[in-house]
Amino acid sequence: MFAIEVENLTKNFNGFVAVDNVSFSIESGEIFGLLGPNGAGKTTTISMLATLLRPTSGSALVNGFELTKRDDDIRKSIGIVFQDQSLDEELTAYENMDFHGRLYRISKTVRQQKIVELLKLVELEEKKNDIVKTFSGGMRRRLEIARGLLHEPKVLFLDEPTLGLDPQTRNHIWEYIENLNKEKGITIILTTHYMDEADRLCDRVAIMDKGKLIASETPEKLKEEIGGDVITITSSEREELYAKLKTLSWVKHVEPHDGFVTINLENAERHVAEIANLSATNGIEIDSISIRKPTLEDVFLHFTGRTIREGEASSKDHMRMIHRMGRR
């Protein structure tokens, strides 16, 4: 059974296509990741599914309710943790939870019981009477997740849930997300540009770039599509090296990027010496060479021709251009 079904969903902002004809479906109880650089259209997509933005065209079903026609029913059945903090810093953790419960008209008895349970779940029960402005970034994020679960949603949207957090706190948030999914069976839709986050948490990922959905599968199958191993070579003469490497029959795929060259091939260990000899014969200096298995970063590179960092840079340039156009 599908928790979410999306067909040809599109969103335009004054001629700029933020989400371009996107289609996908999410199984009930699945952790589904929207993966891509900042500006790829991830937040816009979940904002439409959460009824915060009205689609320009296309359709979607969320928990069986049709988007734009049964938005109130959708809102009652989902929870959302925004990328930007939405807590009231002058209230305590308990008061933030209580206010949220009142908005959803949860009875006082049930509200009090659920708040205690959820604050314990995210290890904030001892901080329930503390003012939120005294909380660390990780504590605030945990509180927002607890608040989003108060009305027992069937689907939980998490928009960049660990953005800006330190590695240890990120790992703790990941544990909460995994436990929520396993213990409560909540369908979770996660947006992220952290490849390790998507790899760790998601049953399936959809890779977005420039508003388009360019690939969708399990992380394992996406990495299998690349196949073999990845050799990364750093060289100040990467273009010359790239020109020589792409003529080799045993190289499946080769791309030059940011001062390095990546090669996809089978049995990489057997070919390292051959690559070194090729570069030496042609007077090309190699600074370093490494071998590893494919990651989701390699998947993004394979499908887009850019690293995710390059994708973020180009997205920022594009948004600045759109902003300048809007000011004229």
Domain ranges of the chain: 2-219, 228-293
145: nearest Cα among 82, 232, 94: 82
- The percentage of residues in the chain with a pLDDT greater than 70, rounded to a whole number, is 94
For every residue of 225-285, DSSP letters joined together read HH-SEEEEEE-TTHHHHHHHHTT-TT-SEEEEETTEEEEEESSGGGGHHHHHHHHHHTT--
Instruction: For residue 321, name the pLDDT band (cuts at 50, 70, 90).
Output: very low
289 alpha carbon, distance to own chain's centre: 29
- With contact defined as beta carbons under 8 Å apart, do 55 and 23 qualify? no
Is the CB of residue 9 less than 8 Å from the CB of residue 19?
A: yes
Helix or strand or coil: residue 212? strand
Per-residue pLDDT at 264 exceeds 90? no
Burial 150-182 (b: 16+ CB within 10 A, else e): bbebbbbbbbbbbbebeeebbebbbebbeebbe
What is d(CA 93, CA 105) in angstroms, rounded to the nearest whole number? Answer: 19
Q: Could you tell me what percent of the chain has a pLDDT over 90?
A: 61
Does residue 327 carry a pLDDT above 50?
no
Return the CATH fold of 228-293. Alpha-Beta Plaits (3.30.70)
DSSP per-residue letters across 64-84: TEETTTSHHHHHHHEEEE-SS
Q: What distance in Å separates the CA atoms of residue 8 and residue 285, rounded to the nearest whole number?
A: 48
pLDDT of residue 314: 53
Asked if 2-219 and 228-293 have one fold, the answer is no
What are the start-end ranges of the H helices in the chain?
Answer: 42-49, 71-77, 93-103, 108-121, 137-149, 167-184, 195-201, 219-226, 238-245, 272-281, 296-304, 308-327
Q: Exposure of 186 by Cβ count < 10 A (0-12 exposed, 13-18 middle, 19+ buried)?
A: buried
pLDDT tens track for 289-308: 999 989 898 888 888 877 77
- Work out the pLDDT band at 249, boundaries 50, 70, 90: confident
Class of the CATH domain delimited by 2-219: alpha beta
Model confidence over 91-111: pLDDT tens digits?
Answer: 999 999 999 999 999 999 999
pLDDT 10s digits, 193-239: 888 999 999 999 999 999 999 999 999 999 888 878 899 999 989 89
Considering only the C-alpha atoms of the chain, give the largest distance between any 2 of them, rounded to a whole number of Å: 78
- Supply the mean pLDDT for the chain: 89
The model carries a pTM of: 0.81
Query: Which pLDDT does position 322 carry in this prediction?
Result: 42
